[in-house]
Amino acid sequence: MSVIEGLSHIVLTTSSVEKYESTVQFYSLFGYQPISQVGSRVLSNEVSQFLPREEKVLHLFGKPPTQDITIRIVLTTNANEKEPLPEEKDWRLEQSSLVSATKNIVDVESILESINLKYQKYTYPNESDSLVAPLSADLVHTEIYTHDPLNNLITFTNKPIPISKSIYPIKPISPIKQQDISSSNISTEPKTKKKRIGMLTSGGDSPGMNAAVRAVVRVAISRGCDVYAIYEGYEGLVNGGDMIKKFGWADVRGYLAIGGTLIGSARCKAFREREGRLNSAYNMVKNGIDALIVCGGDGSLTGADVLRSEWPGLLDELIKEGRITAEEAAPYKHLTVVGLVGSIDNDMSSTDITIGAVSSLHRICEAVDSISATALSHSRAFVIEVMGRNCGWLALMAAVSTGADFVFIPERPPASDDWESEMCEILKKHRKLGKRKTIVIVAEGAIDKNLKPIKADYIKELLSNRMKLDTRVTTLGHTQRGGKPCSFDRNLATLQGVEAVHAVLRATSDTPSPMIGVRQNKITCEPLMKAVELTRQVAEAISRKDFRRAMELRDPEFSEDYAAYIETTIVNDETLSKNKCLRIGIIHIGAPAGGMNPATRAVVRYSLNHGHTPVAIYNGFDGLLQDNLRELSWLDVDGWAAKGGSELGTHKIIVSDLDIGMIAYQLQKHRINSLLLIGGFEAYSSLVELNNYNNQYPAFCIPMVCLPATISNNVPGTDFSLGSDTSLNAIVESCDAIKQSASASRRRVFVVEVQGGQSGYLAVLAGLAVGATNVYTPEEGVSLKKLQLDINHLIRRYGEDKQGTSSGRLVLRNECASETYTTDVIANIFKSEGRGLFDSRTSVLGHIQQGGAPSPTDRIRATRLAVRCVKFLEQYTSHPSSSEKVVFPSIYTNTKDSAAVIGIDGAQVIFTPVADLLSETDMKYRKGKKAWWINIKELVEILSKWGYYEIEPELNQEFYETLDNALHRR
């Protein structure tokens, strides 16, 4: 029998003498023995019935490791009677009052049949690796659900711990009677050998590796596989023994929020030799491992593919040496290898981003933002060296994100032989404009056009001697590797870990070793060695001084980001032809979002370089009506790359709330002949209104573009809005702290309310990043059934936790998930139904979700998209027949395409006419009708709920196909 640890006894009450006696008799049938009786039944003088004044104690003496169980059956006048569950209902979805583990499950069924008691019986695949055939009944995992005479639901199972180790989507199975389960119904085919996957991390550590390990372990278990963690990378594979350990579901608890790699990484010279790989093959065969998932850089992944190519020969050699037999080797004829790229350098081809690169960029930007304050205070110059080996991604993206004055990267060295003078001249211009600080970022592999290294100390000497600047050098070093992974890396590693397991399961002996990557925001599976070869071509191109080819081999955004950096950083004294000069109105609408200020900075800088006049409209359309406008200069937006919120001020008042005629008048009055709206759904709906009136008011016959900026990510026409990444990081940081508190308090569940309006994007993506037990979104709503399933899961999990070791758990609820089931109501339900097993608390994150400083991802997106917006406005400036400067208010555009929303579709930047987006918009709930992320919610539950899904993997194909589509659609 099984009972919650620490529980002294179970009390069953009834007011019926008949039910009292039948309950005693019922439990006696299953081995319970009476050990005491208290009270008696006395006949009343007034009525012909017994007054209940009795209780009987029954005890079941269990054999270790099972526990003894005591049941106290009480006959009393104030008992509450229960109703039996409906027969058509799946009783597995309800909480059992008692779970009994027995080796004699067939006898239990016979007893229930003999007393004509209704029950539901379910069978599951056995988890043993036994290949014995045929399977006997006791090798089948069986669960029987029935009611005792008091209508308490009780469960009998033939497993010591009646919880499946595999996780599959629940699919109700109709109750099966005993006569339907016969030996003829049980498969006599030998069981397929369970897949055993080895997981190792190698090379330099990177934030997010632990998230990848967690995803591989839990998804593999959910697919019926065993997973072995190989400690210290290839060194553990070579040495074997205790360095190869089978991992269970709970072994990766808490991995998401921890940087580095908890299973270790080490350089292993032995693996580079055939003898070391021979030992690795031996250890894998002895542990039954026939698939290997490696998370590391190009060297680590190459080593794994070498092992795979040599595998048949290594097995033959082990057999000849007598270390293994031919029978032992037979099941392992082929080795499956799958690679995950874990590297802060982002230097692998065939993938746009690697696990850990964005987190490392976070560390760099935090450092540079801090250094900028010191530089500004003392009017100093700082030369900052960042990591990246021969890849300039970290240096370039840090320069874009922080507004650095100059950057050196290996792929694009300075074009001039006298780059020293060129750099000093540019920095002098910045100082002449009034800048008090100078920031130069140099990649550790930076070179000049003649391949001569450019070092930070040399740059310092130039700034000190030629420009007489008080200059310091800061080498960030390994701080760039440290710290928690950001939300992006947690989710990237998780999604790629899921795909890695799927790649293992679909691999054949002819399949080339795949590398899991991401291209155009879609999870990809590319040939590993092809990616390695392309990566090496970058270094070869640089060595040949073919820098154009080196730039092409980087991700598709690399060149565009470099161009955007130059256009928004280097002052252009020679502006473009005046026939394209625009007065660009810049307005912020809606709630503040990280990225608004970096986008405005980029628009101002790019516009000034191209001869346009950027005009700030303060405090939204309300400010426009109050003549609250000002032309912005280059220096006005200095430092805005790192500023959160909205320096222009923003307001949720939209066009439809104001006098449309006055808005047109003000645009004409201030000669605004192109308009950039930065904001959320309010900005989008305002653009819709302005476009609707372009036939009535000539002032609206100008190019207009909406740049989505909202934490809710609910604007149609784009996969990502500015501010959504900043908000996710703010939520994840808060949830990490909340989870730490919950863990310290033991047995506590926090219901965390997040923003997002009618869009569940923040809740789902944050839930995946923090390992939430469940996520409640407006798209699915909240029901009693869902709450009951989560309560059952929490009761089971906390019941399994050892005393004093239980961790805190989180449930995320979108603020609009349900009007009835509020955050407080859900927390109170959890607390009440927990019955003292666990406590619950609430946490409403509120406006901290709008974030402080924008995340590097939002800064980079803001810069790239803002530059594209100005180019869009330039494109629709004049009639094709006009070659003269535009004089407002002449009508020069009224085409449908001239009013559009800029968006990210995969890795592409697109402009969609606002008129075409209306069919994709749910105006009532203020969001787009398409949500690429919606199916990821299922993954949140898969990765958090052990035993939540309980059908065989082969019956689960439809669900995993849906999940695959969600991953690859990105």
Q: Is 756 annotated as a binding residue?
A: yes
Catalytic annotation on 801? no
Nearest residue to 894 via CA among 669, 658, 690, 726: 690
Q: Is 502 annotated as a binding residue?
A: no
Q: Is 479 annotated as a binding residue?
A: yes
Q: Residue 240 phi/psi, 5° resolution? A: 65, -145
Q: Is 40 annotated as a binding residue?
A: no
Rounded-to-integer distance, Cα 650 and Cα 818, Å:
29
Q: Is 300 annotated as a binding residue?
A: yes
Rounded-to-integer distance, Cα 343 and Cα 207, Å:
9
Other C-beta atoms closer than 10 Å to the C-beta of 799 total 18
Q: Is 710 annotated as a binding residue?
A: yes
Residue 956 to residues 169, 213, 560, 949, 961, Cα–Cα distance (Å): 7, 23, 43, 10, 9
Q: Is 628 annotated as a binding residue?
A: no
Rounded-to-integer distance, Cα 678 and Cα 588, Å:
5
Q: State the virtual CA torsion across 790, 792, 796, 801 in degrees, nearest 10.
A: 40
Q: Is 33 annotated as a binding residue?
A: no
Nearest residue to 341 via CA among 534, 622, 192, 577: 534
Other C-beta atoms closer than 10 Å to the C-beta of 91 total 22
Q: Is 39 annotated as a binding residue?
A: no
Rounded-to-integer distance, Cα 820 and Cα 783, Å:
9
Rounded-to-integer distance, Cα 261 and Cα 202, Å:
9
List, in order, residues 6 or more apart from 150 with CB less than 8 Å away: 12, 13, 14, 19, 23, 81, 82
Q: Is 620 annotated as a binding residue?
A: no
Q: Is 757 annotated as a binding residue?
A: yes
User: For residue 189, how far is the Cα from the chain centroid?
Assistant: 40
Q: Is 232 annotated as a binding residue?
A: no
Structure tokens belonging to residue 163: 């919880």
Task: Kindly report the length of the chain.
Answer: 970
Cβ proximity of 81 and 23 under 8 Å? no
List, in order, residues 6 or more apart from 366 with CB less than 8 Å away: none
Q: Is 389 annotated as a binding residue?
A: yes
Rounded-to-integer distance, Cα 244 and Cα 247, Å:
9
SS3 (DSSP) at 336: strand
Q: Is 850 annotated as a binding residue?
A: yes
Q: Is 713 annotated as a binding residue?
A: yes
Q: Is 298 annotated as a binding residue?
A: yes
Burial 803-832 (b: 16+ CB within 10 A, else e): eeebbbbbbbbbbbbbeebbbeebbebbbe
Q: Is 809 annotated as a binding residue?
A: no
Can you name the residues that pair with 69 across neighbouring β-strands?
Answer: 60
Residue 75 to residues 47, 59, 851, Cα–Cα distance (Å): 18, 17, 60
Residue 388 to residues 275, 341, 356, 784, 847, Cα–Cα distance (Å): 33, 15, 12, 51, 36
Burial class (CB in 10 A: 0-12, 13-18, 19+), 756: buried
Q: Is 841 annotated as a binding residue?
A: yes
Token pair 């995950």 is found at 340
Cβ proximity of 660 and 628 under 8 Å? no
Q: Is 254 annotated as a binding residue?
A: no
Q: Is 299 annotated as a binding residue?
A: yes
Q: Is 350 annotated as a binding residue?
A: no
Q: Is 181 annotated as a binding residue?
A: no
- The CA-CA-CA angle for residues 478, 371, 645, to 5°, reads 105
Q: Is 344 annotated as a binding residue?
A: yes
Q: Is 345 annotated as a binding residue?
A: yes
Token pair 């097993």 is found at 837
**Residue of 205, 345, 489, 858 with catalytic role:** 345
Q: Is 130 annotated as a binding residue?
A: no
Question: What are the percentages of helix, strand and coil residues in the chain, rounded to 5?
Answer: 40, 20, 40
Q: Is 711 annotated as a binding residue?
A: yes
Rounded-to-integer distance, Cα 93 and Cα 321, Å:
55
- Beta pairing, strands 196-201 & 226-230: parallel
Q: Is 869 annotated as a binding residue?
A: no
Q: Is 120 annotated as a binding residue?
A: no
SS3 (DSSP) at 431: helix
Residue 842 to residues 25, 302, 750, 778, Cα–Cα distance (Å): 45, 48, 5, 19
- Beta pairing, strands 54-60 & 613-617: unpaired
Q: Is 934 annotated as a binding residue?
A: no
Q: Is 22 annotated as a binding residue?
A: no
Q: Residue 954 phi/psi, 5° resolution? A: -70, -20
Q: Is 480 annotated as a binding residue?
A: yes
- The CA-CA-CA angle for residues 771, 772, 776, to 5°, reads 145
As annotated, the binding site includes 204, 267-268, 297-300, 343-345, 380, 387-389, 444, 472, 478-481, 652, 710-714, 748, 755-757, 815, 841, 847-850, 926
As annotated, the binding site for substrate includes 343-345, 380, 387-389, 444, 472, 478-481
As annotated, the binding site for beta-D-fructose 2,6-bisphosphate includes 652, 710-714, 748, 755-757, 815, 841, 847-850, 926
- Residues carrying an active site annotation: 345
As annotated, the binding site for ATP includes 204, 267-268, 297-300
As annotated, the binding site for Mg(2+) includes 298
